[in-house]
Amino acid sequence: MTRIMAAGLMVMAFFVTQGIAPARAADPYPSKVVRLVVAFPPGGATDALARIVAQKLSGRLGQQMIVENRPSPSGIGGSESVAKSAPDGHTLLFIPSLHATNVSFFPNLPYDSVKDFAPVSLIATSPYVLTMNPGVPVKSVKELIAHLKQRPGVLNVSASAIGSAQHLAAELFKRSAGVDIVLVHYKGSGAILPDLLAGRVSLAFENQAVVAPSIKNGSLVGLAVTASERSQVFPELPTMIESGVDGFVVVGWFGIVAPAQTPAEIIRRLNAEISASMQEADVRERVQTMGMRPLSGPPGDLRDLIAREIAVWGKVIREAGIKLQ
């Protein structure tokens, strides 16, 4: 025993004389500020939802979580920065459904949307509303389709980022209904609403929260929701399927991912705290006020959703011949 102790002391002395610090337990996670990257400008639905989550997680993690906006076309630059970050759980990416559709629109992405990220948790889903300026003389989706067929290329429909759910909804509507309507791209919902209200653009597939006040006060008309079920925000509005557009379902979703190779124990910690946060009454109320359905679930749910969205929209984009403009 004496010889063993002496040997141990000799080893420790060697490390000290060589200036090598003895190994110690890793710092508990998180050990510094956690950055939640949003690859879009401040003020949109993605940014607003990310800030709700970050505020709540700051308290639960015992370390500040900040939202860092890194705007880039279709969110690619900001996503790439996270994919290349250290996989230590201190840099995360808040993703919208654009994360999956980018795969089909941009075949040369500087990252792999599946392999370069570790799913953490689904956050919320959001249907869209087919919204119309009241100057268009129709009262239903069926009447709108008939109107468009009689006047091909006369009306226009807005869309935000290329490849966004709003963009795909507009493209899918054109093809599913067999109508000729001009697609007009905007930088975001904030730029669309004034033109929609003024009649400079006729139609939009927009987030419920963005258009709800205008629909309720009569300055815009809601025609249908894009989910498979009616919305709690607009229970009076039919779905697109009920309105006669078979198979038309477009639902936006949001989630959090980390760089690939992030340790499983960190993913579990984050997932547990997010799940608990999304059950809190104040969080649910704020998310529902935005026209969204708060969710969570295990990382596998988000992984499966991303894979499914890539497959489904990839098929639609290829078969419909949707191209970037």
CB neighbour list of residue 214: distance below 8 Å, 6 or more residues apart: 131, 193, 197, 220
pLDDT tens digits, one per residue of 280-303 = 999 999 998 887 889 999 999 999
Q: How far apart are the first and last CA of the chain?
A: 77
Average pLDDT over residues 120-128: 94
Average pLDDT over residues 263-269: 98
The encoded tokens of residue 241 equal: 């399927």
Burial per residue of 176-209, b for 16 or more beta-carbon CB atoms within 10 angstroms, e otherwise: bbebebeebbbebbeebbebbeeeebbbbbbbbb
d(CA 212, CA 115): 38
Q: pLDDT band for position 323 (50/70/90)?
A: confident
Compute φ and ψ for 207, nearest 5 degrees. Answer: -60, 140
d(CA 268, CA 244): 43
d(CA 163, CA 144): 24
Average pLDDT over residues 214-220: 96
pLDDT tens digits, one per residue of 102-118 = 999 898 999 999 999 99
pLDDT tens digits, one per residue of 143-175 = 999 999 999 999 999 987 676 788 889 988 998
315 or 92: which leads in pLDDT: 92
pLDDT higher than threshold 80 for residue 92: yes
Domains of the chain as residue ranges with CATH = 34-126+252-320 (3.40.190.150), 127-225 (3.40.190.10)
Mean pLDDT, the chain, whole residue set: 89
CB neighbour list of residue 322: distance below 8 Å, 6 or more residues apart: 168, 171, 316
241 or 233: which leads in pLDDT: 241
**Which residue from 194, 204, 203, 312 is spatially nearest to 253, judged by alpha carbons?**
312
CA torsion, points 250, 251, 256, 262, in degrees to nearest 10?
A: -50
Supply the pLDDT for residue 23.
Answer: 41
The structure's pTM equals: 0.75
Supply the pLDDT for residue 8.
Answer: 52
pLDDT higher than threshold 80 for residue 249: yes
